[in-house]
Copies of this chain bind each other. A is one copy, B any other.
Amino acid sequence: MRRFEWPVRVYYEDTDAGGVVYYANYLKYLERGRTEWLRHLGFGQEQLMRDSGIVFAVRHVEIDYLVPARFDDALVVQVEIAALSKVSITFHQRLLRTPDRVLTEAKVKVVCLDKEKFRPVAIPVDIREAIDAHQ
Chain A positions within 8 Å of B, measured between CB atoms, are 9, 11-13, 15-20, 22-25, 27-28, 31-32, 35, 44-47, 49, 55, 57-65, 68, 70-72, 115, 118
Tell me whether chain A's interface is mostly helix, strand or loop, or mixed.
Answer: mixed
List, in ascending order, chain B residues with CB within 8 A of A17's CB.
12, 15-17, 19-20, 49, 70-71
- Complex: how many Å from CA A23 to CA B34? 14
Given known A-B contacts A62-B62, A65-B60, A72-B44, A24 and B13 have beta carbons under 8 A apart? yes
Chain B residues in 8 Å Cβ range of A24: 13, 24-25, 27-28, 31
| A18: B residues at CB distance < 8 A | 12, 55, 57, 115
Q: How far is the CB of A61 from chain B (nearest CB, A)?
A: 5
A105 to B59 alpha-carbon distance, docked (Å): 11
Query: Is B35 within 8 A of A11, CB to CB?
Result: yes
Check A63 against B61 for contact (C-beta < 8 Å): yes
CB pair A28–B13 under 8 Å, yes or no, is yes
Residue of B nearest to A27 (CB): B24
- Contact call A57/B61, Cβ cutoff below 8 A: no
> Which chain B residues lie closer than 8 Å to A62 at the CB level?
60-62
If A60-B63, A115-B18 touch, whether A46 touches B27 (CB-CB below 8 Å) is no
